[in-house]
């Protein structure tokens, strides 16, 4: 018994946008007690991830590390027609992933105290990002 919602988030360039509340609200509406919530972003240059929701410096530091893992404008890149940040964005998406799956118990997301769900925009410009949430009981 699956239920599904699609929603859109407008990003303001590189950085994270917390979407825990959006996901939690849909899960509450689903009215199922035990299951999973699968969240998926339909793009190849932004990620979904779970990380610490308390100190925003964690996400600043992840951005610093991501710049090492997949630098912008690297001379080795062959895919560079769409901007200095484009190939870096694809590589960061590969590393951080395009979906997260969270267990549901007692009708709520079973996230730990410090876990938040974030959309991580990897492009430097603003984008509209389509997210699909599927809840399975």
Please state the closest distance from residue 4 (CB atom) to a copy of itself, in A. 5
* 31 near a copy of itself (CB under 8 A): no
Site mask, a copy of itself, residues 77-116, x = CB under 8 A?
A: xxx-x-----x--xx-xxxxxxxxxxxxx----xxx-xx-
The C-alpha atoms of residue 13 and residue 6 are separated, in whole angstroms, by 21
The answer to whether 32 touches 135, Cβ cutoff 8 Å, is: yes
Given 60, 73, 84, 125, the residue binding a copy of itself (CB under 8 A): 60
Rounded distance between C-alpha atoms, residue 78 and residue 80, angstroms: 6
Asked if residue 62 lies in contact with residue 69, where contact means CB atoms within 8 angstroms, the answer is no
10 CB neighbour count, 10 Å cutoff: 10
Cα separations (Å) of 69 from 72, 90, 93? 10, 12, 11
Minimum CB–partner distance for residue 69 and a copy of itself (Å): 7
Positions in the binding site for a copy of itself (CB under 8 A): 2-4, 34-36, 38, 40-44, 49-52, 55, 57-58, 60-62, 64-65, 69-70, 76-79, 81, 87, 90-91, 93-105, 110-112, 114-115, 130, 132, 134, 136-137
């Amino acid at each position: 018994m699956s239920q599904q919602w699609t929603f859109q988030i407008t990003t303001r360039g590189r950085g994270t946008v917390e979407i825990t509340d959006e996901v939690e609200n849909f899960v509450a509406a689903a009215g199922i007690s035990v299951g999973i919530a699968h969240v998926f972003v339909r793009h190849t240059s932004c990620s979904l991830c779970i990380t610490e929701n308390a100190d925003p410096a964690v996400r600043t530091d992840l951005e610093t590390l991501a710049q090492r893992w997949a630098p912008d404008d690297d001379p080795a890149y062959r895919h560079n027609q769409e901007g200095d940040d484009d190939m870096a964005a694809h590589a960061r998406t590969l590393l951080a992933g395009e979906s997260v799956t969270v267990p549901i118990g007692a009708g709520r997301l079973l996230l730990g105290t410090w876990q938040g769900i974030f959309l991580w925009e990897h492009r430097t410009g603003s984008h509209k990002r389509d997210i699909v949430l599927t809840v399975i009981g």
